Amino acid sequence: MSEKTYGILAEFDSPAAILSAAEKVRDAGYSRWDVFTPFPIHGMDKVMNLKNSLVGWFALAGGAFMFLNVVGLIWFSNAFDYPLIVGGKPMFSVPMTFVPAYIMMIMGGAVGALIGMFAFNELPRFHHPLFTSERFALVSCDKFMLLVGSTDPKFSESETRKLLESLGGAHIEIIKD
């Protein structure tokens, strides 16, 4: 792999510190940056201006798809392909379709939500440039890290490093891809 710079990583000690650092980085005009935290930080969505996640629509699509498919399947199998009179009941009716269709809607919605989450988060992936950093393993423990990506138009190794230092970032490190 070529030694391309991926970004600059800085480490913070508390959720409040990373939140205020994120605000400053945003105010300094950076656009391609991200924070890495052991758990979601309350208020970070607002600072990073993240829009409502579209995962919900995936769930809706999955649920609707399954619901309609099961209704169709029941009509096809019980009323069209092999109509069989059972207890004098109609071949096709709402009560007989609703329950299985509803249950399978839940299945479709759940699978849709999971697929949506994986797709938006680009998971699964087996390598990430950040995994080369030794200190990055602490993100899942008690450290909070901020990365400014090298693709950011304002990115400069010296200037960005200075900014992160002034925000109180520790162990500032350049990540290679």
Partner 1 sequence: MGRRSYEREQLMVGATTNLEELKKLAPPAELRRAPVVENNRGLGLLTDQLSKFAEGKVPRWWWILFIPSAFCATVIFPAALIYQVSVGVGAWGNNQPVAWGLDIVSFIWWVGVAHAGTLISALLFLTRQHWRTTIGRAAEAMTVFSVMMAGLYPAIHVGRAWFDWFMFPIPNSNGNWPQFRSPLMWDVFAVNTYLVVSMLFWFMGMIPDFAVFRDRAVTRPRKFIFSLLAMGWTGSARQWHHYEKAYVVLCGLCTLLVFTVSSIVGLDFCTSQLAGWHATIFPLYFVIGAVFCGFGMILVLLIPLRKWCGLENVITMSHMDKVAKLTLVSGLIIAYIYAIEFFIAWYSGDPYERWVFSHRLFGHSYWFMGWILMVVNVGVTQLLWFKKIRANLTALFIIGLLINCGMWTERFVIVVGSLYQDFLPANWGKYIPTIWDLALYVGSLGAFFMMYLLFVKYLPFIAISEVKGATPQGNPHLPAGGAKGEKS
Chain residues binding partner 1 by CB under 8 A are 13-20, 34-45, 48, 50, 52-53, 55-56, 59, 73-74, 77-78, 81-82, 84, 86-87, 89, 96-97, 99-100, 102-104, 106-107, 109-111, 113-114, 116-117, 120-128, 130, 137-142
> What are the backbone angles phi and psi of residue 11, rounded to the nearest 5°?
-115, 135
Nearer to partner 1, 147 or 163 (CB): 147
Torsion sign across C-alpha atoms 151, 157, 163, 168: positive
CB neighbourhood size of 26 (10 A): 14
The nearest distance, CB 40 to partner 1, in angstroms, is 4
The nearest distance, CB 156 to partner 1, in angstroms, is 22
> What are the backbone angles phi and psi of residue 4, rounded to the nearest 5°?
-90, 145
Name the residue with tokens 């909070």. 144
Nearer to partner 1, 15 or 28 (CB): 15
